[in-house]
Chains A and B, each alone.
Chain A
Amino acid sequence: MNRGIAYYIIGRFLQSVLVLWIIVTLLFLLFRLAPGDPIANYIDVNFTREQELNLRARFGLDKPLHEQYVVYLVNLAKLDLGETFSYAGRSVLDILAEDLPNTIYLTMSSLLLAYSVGVLGGIAMAALRGSLIERVGTTFTLMTRAAPQFWVGMLLLTLFAFQWRLLPSSGIGPALVRYRWETEWDKLLSPVFWRHMILPTFTLAIYLHGLPLLLMRSNMLEVLDQDFIVMGRLTGYSESRLMIQHAARNALLPVLTALTLGIGYSIGGNVVIENVFSWPGLGRTLVEAVQESDYPLAQGAFFFIAFIIVFLNFIADILYSLLDPRVGASAQARLS
Chain B
Amino acid sequence: MQFRLNPRVILALVLVTTVLGMSLGAVSAQERVPTITVHSVTQAERPIEYETTRLVVENMRELGLDVEHRALSLLQFFDETWFSREEGKGRVEKPFQMTAWRMVGRPERSEPDEFTYNLFHSSVRDGGYNFIGYYNPEYDALAETQRALTDPAERREIICEAQQVIRNDMVNAYFLHPQTPQLVNTDVFNAASVVIQAGIGIQNFWNWINIEPIGEERLIITATTSNLNVLNPLEIAGDSPSRVTEIVWDRLMRTNPDGLPEPWAAESVVWEDSTHVVLTLREGMTWHDGLPVTSADAAYSFEAALAGTTQVDAEGNEFFRAEATDYYPFVSGITDIEIIDDLTIRLSLAAPNGAFETSTLSKLNLIPKHIWEPIITELLADDGADVDSIQEEIPIGSGPFKFVAYDVNEFALLEAHTDHWSAPKADGWLMNVLPNLEAMIGQIQSGEMNLLWEWPSDPAVLSDIAEANDHLSLFTETSIGFQYFAFNLRYAPFDNLAFRQAIAHVIPQQFIIDNLYNGFAAPADSFVSTALGYWRECDEPLRTYEFTIEGARALLESAGYSWDDEGRLLYPAN
Query: Please, how many residues of chain B have a CB less than 8 angstroms from a CB on the other chain?
Result: 68
Q: Which of B83, B118, B126 contacts A49 (CB 8 A)?
A: B126
Query: Please, how many residues of chain A have a CB less than 8 angstroms from a CB on the other chain?
Result: 57
Known: A36-B73, A88-B389. Is A178-B410 also a contact (CB below 8 A)?
Answer: yes
Could you give, for residues 442-470 of chain B, a 1 whenever the CB lies within 8 Å of some chain A CB and a 0 otherwise?
11011010000000000000000000000
Does A80 make an interface contact (CB < 8 A)? Answer: no
What residues on B are CB-neighbors of A4 within 8 Å?
none
Does A57 make an interface contact (CB < 8 A)? Answer: yes
> Quick check: A165 and B73 within 8 Å, CB to CB?
no
What residues on A are CB-neighbors of B83 within 8 Å?
37, 40
Known: A37-B75, A46-B114, A175-B432. Is A170-B409 also a contact (CB below 8 A)?
Answer: no
> Quick check: B78 and A36 within 8 Å, CB to CB?
yes
Does B374 make an interface contact (CB < 8 A)? Answer: no
A179–B314 Cα distance when bound, in Å, is 45
Q: Which of B127, B227, B311, B325 contacts A55 (CB 8 A)?
A: B325
What residues on A are CB-neighbors of B335 within 8 Å?
none
A51 to chain B, nearest CB (A): 6
A50–B332 Cα distance when bound, in Å, is 13
Q: Which of B329, B438, B445 contacts A157 (CB 8 A)?
A: B438
> Quick check: B82 and A40 within 8 Å, CB to CB?
yes
A84–B227 Cα distance when bound, in Å, is 13
Among A217-225, A270-278, A326-334, the one that faces the other chain is: A270-278
A283–B177 Cα distance when bound, in Å, is 35
Residue of B at shortest CB range from A38?
A: B75
What residues on B are CB-neighbors of A35 within 8 Å?
75-76, 79
> Quick check: A158 and B442 within 8 Å, CB to CB?
yes
What residues on A are CB-neighbors of B76 within 8 Å?
35-36
Q: Which of A36, A40, A170 contacts B432 (CB 8 A)?
A: A170
Within 8 A of A (CB), among B375-410: 385-386, 388-391, 404-405, 407-410
Does A228 make an interface contact (CB < 8 A)? Answer: no
Does A280 make an interface contact (CB < 8 A)? Answer: yes
Does B138 make an interface contact (CB < 8 A)? Answer: no
Residue of B at shortest CB range from A287?
A: B435
Within 8 A of B (CB), among A249-301: 275-278, 280, 284-285, 287-288, 293
Does A113 make an interface contact (CB < 8 A)? Answer: no
A161–B74 Cα distance when bound, in Å, is 34
What residues on B are CB-neighbors of A41 within 8 Å?
75
Among B11-19, B280-288, B316-324, B499-507, the one that faces the other chain is: B316-324
A318 to chain B, nearest CB (A): 35
Does B103 make an interface contact (CB < 8 A)? Answer: yes
What residues on A are CB-neighbors of B232 within 8 Å?
88
A50–B232 Cα distance when bound, in Å, is 21
Does A54 make an interface contact (CB < 8 A)? Answer: yes
What residues on A are CB-neighbors of B438 within 8 Å?
154, 157-158
> Quick check: A48 and B436 within 8 Å, CB to CB?
no
Does A58 make an interface contact (CB < 8 A)? Answer: yes
What residues on A are CB-neighbors of B547 within 8 Å?
none
> Quick check: B114 and A165 within 8 Å, CB to CB?
no
> Quick check: B435 and A48 within 8 Å, CB to CB?
no
Q: Which of A45, A87, A179, A278 contacts B439 (CB 8 A)?
A: A278
What residues on B are CB-neighbors of A276 within 8 Å?
436, 439
**Sample of 17 more A-B contacts, CB < 8 Å, known A53-B321, A99-B409:** A36-B78, A37-B91, A38-B75, A40-B74, A41-B75, A49-B126, A49-B127, A50-B320, A54-B321, A54-B322, A88-B237, A88-B390, A95-B408, A175-B410, A276-B439, A280-B407, A288-B409
What are 15 sample pairs from A and B whose C-beta atoms fall under 8 A apart?
A: A43-B129, A45-B109, A45-B114, A45-B129, A47-B128, A51-B325, A88-B235, A88-B389, A88-B391, A157-B438, A165-B446, A170-B443, A179-B404, A179-B411, A278-B432
Interface residues of A (CB under 8 A from B): 35-38, 40-41, 43-58, 62-63, 83-84, 86-90, 95, 99, 154, 157-158, 161-162, 165, 169-172, 175-176, 178-179, 275-278, 280, 284-285, 287-288, 293
Interface residues of B (CB under 8 A from A): 73-76, 78-79, 82-83, 91, 103, 109, 114-115, 118-119, 124, 126-129, 219, 226-227, 229-232, 235-237, 311, 313-314, 319-322, 325-326, 329-330, 385-386, 388-391, 404-405, 407-411, 413, 430, 432-436, 438-439, 442-443, 445-446, 448
